[in-house]
Amino acid sequence: MEKVVLTAAGLYVIVLLRAGGTFTVGWLAGAGVRRGRLAERMSSATFVRAERAIQRWGAPVVAVSFLTVGFQTAANFLAGSMRMPLPRYLPALFVGGACWALVYATVGVGALEVLARLFAERTALGVAVVAALLAAVCGVVVYGRRNAGSAARGGAADEA
C-alpha cells in the first residue's frame, strides 16, 4: 500500500508540473499561436475537438481530459491559449491530476508487477505476452491510419 501511495504522490507532482506547464505555454502563446507556425497543428481534429469541448463545458472538460490519451495535452494547452481563468482551471487541474495519478499508480503499477512476476517465473510466456501486446497496438495504429487515409481519399473523391 505504501508503494502505491508514494507512486501516486510522485505521479501527482509530475502531472501537475506537466499539465500546468502546458497550460502556461498556451497562456503565454495566447491568440498569437493561431497566426504562427503552430496554426496548422492546432487545426488538427484533436485540437478542434478539445477547443469546442472547452468552449461548451469549460473546466470539467479539462478535469476529464486526464483520463484520456492525447486529448489531455490539447485540452490543457487550449485552456491556456483561451485564457481560462485560474480559479476555474486550477480545481480542474488538481482533481483531474489526482484521478490520473491514482489510475496510473494502481492499474499501471499493478500491471507492471504482474509482468515482472511473469518474466521472473515464466520468461517465455512473458515475452509472448509483451509481443502480443505490441502486435495489438501496432494493429490498432495501422488500422486507424488506413481508415483515416481512406476517409481522406473518399472526401477528396467527393470534391472532384
- pLDDT tens profile 148-157: 766 666 655 5
Instruction: Give pLDDT tens digits for 93-144.
Output: 999 999 999 998 888 777 878 878 888 888 888 888 888 888 998 988 888 8
How many CB atoms within 10 Å of residue 29? 16
Q: What pLDDT does residue 11 have?
A: 92
Q: What pLDDT does residue 110 have?
A: 79
Q: Which amino acid is at 20?
A: G
Query: Does pLDDT of 41 surpass 90?
Result: no
Higher pLDDT, 77 or 149: 77
Query: Does pLDDT of 5 surpass 70?
Result: yes
Question: Residues for the chain: how many in total?
Answer: 160
Q: What pLDDT does residue 150 have?
A: 67
| Domain range annotation of the chain | 101-148
Distances (CA, A) of 17 to 106, 107, 137: 20, 22, 28
Q: What pLDDT does residue 32 have?
A: 67
Distances (CA, A) of 65 to 33, 36, 106, 138, 153: 22, 26, 19, 24, 30
Helix, strand, coil share of the chain (percent; to 5): 90, 0, 10
DSSP class of 84: -
